[in-house]
C-alpha cells in the first residue's frame, strides 16, 4: 500500500509544473529586457560614434592640415587659415553644436580653441610682416624715396582695406566684440559668434 496518495502526487506535480512555467516566464522576461537594453545601448553607442564621424567628415582634414602647418612652421598656415577658410570652418564647426551632448560639445570646443590658436599665430606672423614693411617704408623715406608717392600709396591702401571689410566683421565689431587688444594686437575672431552672425546675415 502506497504511503502517498495519488491526490498528493498530482498536487505536487501541479506545483512543479507551475514553478517551471513561472521560471520560464522569468527567463523569457529577462531575455526580452536584456535584449532591449543591449539593443538600446548598442544604438546609443552607434549614434554617438556617428556624431563624431560626421564632425570629422566636415572639419577633420581641414583642421589636421592647419595643425600640421602650425607644428611644422609652414608658410602654408597663412593660406590655410585665411579669412575665407576660417569663416567656412567656423560655419561647419558651429553646425555641430550639441548642447545635449556634453562630451561632444567639449570636444568641439577643443577643436575651436586649436583653430583659434593657430589663427592667433598666423596673425602674429602677419603683424611681424606688416611691422617690417612699415619699417622698410620709413627707411626708404629717410634715404630719399618719394615721400608723397609713399603717402599716397598708404592712403589708397587704407581705403581699399576699409572697403573690403566683410559685412559680418563690421557686424561683429558693431556688437561690441574686440578684434584688437589694448596693446594693438589682433585678437582671433570667435568662431561660434562669427558663424551665428553669418547665419543671421544669410551669408552661409
Range of 83's domain?
A: 60-200
Q: Which pLDDT band, with edges at 50, 70 and 90, does 176 fall under?
A: confident
Q: CA–CA separation, 86 vs 188, rounded Å?
A: 10
In the predicted structure, residue 82 carries a pLDDT above the cut 60:
yes
What is the total count of domains within the chain?
Answer: 1
User: Residue 114: what are its φ and ψ, rounded to 5°?
Assistant: -65, -45
Does 161 or 117 have the greater pLDDT score? Answer: 117
Q: Is residue 18 part of a domain?
A: no
Model confidence over 83-136: pLDDT tens digits?
A: 899 999 999 999 999 989 999 999 999 999 999 989 888 887 777 666 656 655
| Neighbouring C-beta atoms of residue 204, cutoff 10 Å | 15
Rg over alpha carbons for the chain, rounded to the nearest Å, is: 34
Q: Which residues contact 107 (CB under 8 A, 6 or more apart)?
A: 52, 55
Which DSSP state fits 179?
Answer: S
Helix (H) or strand (E) holding 182: none
- Residue 22 falls within a domain, yes or no? no
| Cα four-point dihedral sign 126, 128, 132, 134 | positive
Domain for residue 65, yes or no? yes
Q: Is residue 34, in this structure, part of any structural domain at all?
A: no
> Does a structural domain hold residue 52?
no
Whether the per-residue pLDDT at 172 is higher than 90: the answer is no
Q: Per the domain annotation, does 15 fall within a domain? A: no
Residue linked to cell 498528493: 8
pLDDT digit string, tens, across residues 1-55:
444 455 554 555 555 455 545 566 665 666 665 665 566 667 777 788 899 999 9
Residue 6 lies in a domain: no
| In a domain? residue 55 | no
> What is the C-alpha separation between 204 and 195, in angstroms, rounded?
8
pTM: 0.59
At how many degrees (to 10) do helices 167-174 and 191-200 cross?
Answer: 110
Amino acid at each position: 500500500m502506497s504511503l502517498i496518495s495519488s491526490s498528493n502526487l498530482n498536487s505536487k506535480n501541479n506545483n512543479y509544473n507551475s514553478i517551471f512555467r513561472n521560471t520560464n516566464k522569468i527567463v523569457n522576461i529577462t531575455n526580452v529586457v536584456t535584449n532591449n537594453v543591449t539593443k538600446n545601448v548598442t544604438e546609443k553607442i552607434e549614434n554617438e560614434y556617428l556624431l563624431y564621424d560626421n564632425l570629422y567628415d566636415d572639419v577633420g582634414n581641414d583642421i589636421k592640415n592647419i595643425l600640421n602647418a602650425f607644428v611644422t612652421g609652414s608658410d602654408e598656415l597663412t593660406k590655410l587659415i585665411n579669412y575665407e577658410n576660417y569663416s567656412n570652418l567656423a560655419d561647419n564647426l558651429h553646425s555641430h553644436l550639441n548642447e545635449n551632448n556634453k562630451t561632444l560639445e567639449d570636444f568641439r570646443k577643443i577643436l575651436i580653441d586649436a583653430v583659434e590658436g593657430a589663427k592667433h599665430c598666423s596673425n602674429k606672423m602677419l603683424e611681424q610682416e606688416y611691422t617690417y614693411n612699415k619699417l622698410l617704408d620709413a627707411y626708404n623715406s629717410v634715404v630719399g624715396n618719394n615721400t608723397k608717392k609713399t603717402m599716397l600709396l598708404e592712403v589708397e591702401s587704407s581705403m581699399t582695406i576699409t572697403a573690403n571689410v566683410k559685412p559680418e566683421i563690421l557686424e561683429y565689431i558693431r556688437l561690441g566684440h574686440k578684434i584688437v587688444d589694448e596693446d594693438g594686437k589682433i585678437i582671433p575672431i570667435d568662431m561660434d559668434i562669427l558663424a551665428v552672425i553669418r547665419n543671421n546675415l544669410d551669408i552661409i
